[in-house]
Amino acid sequence: MFEYIRDSFQELKNNVNWPSWSAGYNLTVLVALFSIIFSLVIWGVDTVFAGFVETYFNWIK
């Protein structure tokens, strides 16, 4: 078990190509912005759909 963990750290240290700090920062900002925009779109679609459902149920009363 300890050998596996040690080998895993060696793999991460020697064989993984890590992005530069600036590239990592830029990618993090991109993911955060995309997440915010996507959540706002989902909220908007949900609000419109809820309005349609409410209108429908008020219409069939």
What residues does each domain of the chain span?
A: 32-61
Question: What letters, b where the CB count within 10 A reaches 16 and e where it falls short, cover 11-43?
Answer: eeeeeeeeeeeeeeeeeeeeeeeeeeeeeeeee
Q: Is 19 within 8 Å of 27 (Cβ atoms)?
A: yes
Average per-residue pLDDT in the chain?
A: 94
pLDDT of 59 over the 90 cut: yes
pTM assigned to the model: 0.65
Identify the pLDDT of residue 10. Answer: 92
Percent of the chain with pLDDT over 70: 100
